[in-house]
Chain A
Amino acid sequence: GAVVSQHPSWVICKSGTSVKIECRSLDFQATTMFWYRQFPKQSLMLMATSNEGSKATYEQGVEKDKFLINHASLTLSTLTVTSAHPEDSSFYICSAKVGEGTDTQYFGPGTRLTVL
């Protein structure tokens, strides 16, 4: 149980375009999902917390107008990187909490974004 999927697993796009990444909980309902970014040889950096049916909570320094998060259902959250630039190239990983009474997060396989 507690399987989280992400799509796509990798994407290459041109500078200035937008990219949407999907995160799905496959065998459970996730009221809370999280989006992380990881640059090479660095640790996970939390970008935002996504709650179903409400606006995402962004970490300090993360531009909410650039990284659009939608959590429209209990099994799907999306991250859209708008007007992507080469510095947005990174490994984007989502995670989900299994339930409200736990802090345990299960991670998706990640999406590697390369912006040319």
Chain B
Amino acid sequence: QKEVEQNSGPLSVPEGAIASLNCTYSDRVSQSFFWYRQYSGKSPELIMSIYSNGDKEDGRFTAQLNKASQYVSLLIRDSQPSDSATYLCAVNGGYSTLTFGKGTMLLVSP
């Protein structure tokens, strides 16, 4: 069974710091990787997708993928209190579906 593992947290960082969120996955043939942000009581919002090994940057967000290690990470630079949310890692699971991790709660303190 395909699995996506995340530390549940909470990960606490001060405002302005770099938050580092990690995710590992079990299926070696996975090709598509996504990070979603979910505020409490709301639905997930797509932050980034990444398909190739290496880094992908978008504003304050950087996704990192290492397929050999089956590892995906999300870095948030200059963290803001508004970044406080649960971050979900998702991996394509075949037949167009995504397998989600349980999410890491991020708390950014002012």
Question: What residues make up the interface of A, taking CB atoms closer than 8 Å to B?
Answer: 32, 34, 42-44, 46, 49, 57, 93, 97, 102-110
| CA A32 to CA B32, docked complex, whole Å | 17
Within 8 Å by CB of A93, from B43, B92, B95, B102, lies B43
Residues from chain B with Cβ under 8 Å of A34 in the complex:
97
Identity of the chain B residue whose Cβ is nearest the Cβ of A45 in the assembled complex = B100
Hey, which chain B residues are within 8 Å of A42, CB to CB? 102
Q: Provided the pairs A43-B101, A44-B100 are in contact, do residues A57 and B43 lie with their beta carbons within 8 angstroms?
A: no
Residues from chain A with a CB closer than 8 A to the CB of B103 are 43
Tell me if A103 and B96 are in contact (CB < 8 A): yes
What 9 A-B pairs are tightest by C-beta distance, nearest first?
Answer: A110-B43, A103-B32, A43-B102, A103-B92, A107-B43, A44-B100, A93-B43, A107-B44, A43-B100
Task: Indicate whether B46 reaches chain A with its CB closer than 8 angstroms.
Answer: yes
By the criterion CB–CB under 8 Å, are A104 and B49 in contact?
Answer: yes
Please, how many angstroms separate the alpha-carbon atoms of A43 and B4 in the complex?
A: 11
Bound CA–CA A97/B90 (angstroms): 14
Q: Select from chain A the residue with minimum beta-carbon distance to B6.
A: A43
A106 touches B46 (CB 8 A): yes
Instruction: For residue A95, give the distance in angstroms from its CB to the closest CB of chain B.
Output: 8
Q: List 15 A-B contacts (CB under 8 A).
A: A32-B96, A43-B103, A44-B44, A44-B100, A49-B95, A49-B97, A103-B34, A104-B49, A105-B34, A105-B90, A105-B98, A107-B43, A107-B46, A109-B42, A110-B43
Across the interface, which residues of A come within 8 angstroms of B100, CB to CB?
43-44
